[in-house]
Amino acid sequence: MLITELKAKETILSALGSKVFVINCHGCKEIRFPEQEANALQKELSAAGKITGILTTDYICNPENLKLQLDGYAAQIRESDTVLVFSCGVGVQTVAQLLQDKKVCAACDTYALPGYQGVTPLEHDCGQCGQCYLNLTGGICPITACSKSLVNGQCGGAKNGMCEVDPTMQCGWERIYQRLKQLGRLDVLKCPVQLRDYATDERVNKE
C-alpha cells in the first residue's frame, strides 16, 4: 500500500523540457492519489502546448503490459523530450527501465503504508521514502539500489562495479552514473547536496 503526493509545482516544472509525454497510473489510486491536482497541472501543461500525449492506465509496474501500451504511443513519446510519470516510485522506475534513452521524471513523492506495492517490487524497488530522488538519479532509486541508501553519490567502496556491502549486487551509484551518462545528464550530479528529510516518516505516521 502507499500514498502518493504531488511534488511542488515548481519542482516538477523545473524538471521538464519543452515537450512532455504524460503517464498516469491509476492502479493504486484508491489508496491515495492526487488526481485533482495532477489533472489541473496536466491541463496547464496542455494549454501551454507542451503535452505530446497522455497515457492513463493502471499498474504500470507490470513491465510486459506497460511495454505493449507504450508501443501504441511510440510517435508521441518520440516527439517528447521528457516523460512525466504520475505514480509511485516503482511505476516511475519501470518506465525509466523501458525508456532508457528518455528523460523520465517523477511527479510524485511516495509515502509508506503497511502492505503491498507494485507487481515487480524486487526488480524496481521503492523504499517509500517520501522524498523521491528519481529525477536526479536517472530513474534509479538510490534508497533501494544502494546498500547504504546514499543520496549523494558513491561511498567509494565499490570494486569492479560491485557493492562493497553486498558483492553479489551492482553498485547502485555506478548504475546511476552510467544511466545519467547515457542520457547526457551527468550535470545533475553537480546539483547541491540533497538532504534526506527523515521528518517525512513522522508525517506519514501522524496521518
Q: How many Å apart are CA 145 and CA 124, to the nearest integer? A: 9
* Candidates 44-52, 67-75, 129-137, 183-191; binding stretch for ligand SF4 (CB under 6 A): 129-137
Considering only 136, 172, 176, 180, the residue that binds ligand SF4 (CB under 6 A) is 172
Give Cβ neighbours of residue 63 (< 8 Å, ≥ 6 apart). 94, 97, 98, 120, 123
- Residue 97 as a binder of ligand SF4 (CB under 6 A): the answer is no
Beta strands (DSSP E) in 87-205 are: 103-106, 108-112
Judged by CB, which is closer to ligand SF4: 97, or 128?
Answer: 128
- Any contact of residue 148 with ligand SF4 (CB under 6 A)? yes
Near ligand SF4 by CB under 6 A: residue from 21, 59, 173, 177:
173
Number of neighbours of residue 192 by Cβ within 10 angstroms = 6
135 CB-side CA count, 13 A: 22
Q: Which residue is nearest to ligand SF4 (CB)?
A: 89
74 binds ligand SF4 (CB under 6 A): no
Interaction of residue 154 with ligand SF4, rule CB under 6 A: yes
User: Grid cell 553498485 — which residue?
Assistant: 171
Nearest to 95 by CA among 31, 52, 145, 141: 141
When the beta carbons of 25 and 158 are compared against ligand SF4, the nearer one is: 158
Q: Does 110 bind ligand SF4 (CB under 6 A)?
A: yes
C-alpha to C-alpha distance for 160 and 30, rounded to whole angstroms: 44
Which residues are near ligand SF4 by CB under 6 A?
Answer: 89, 109-110, 126-129, 132-134, 141, 143-144, 146-148, 150, 154-155, 157-158, 163-165, 171-173
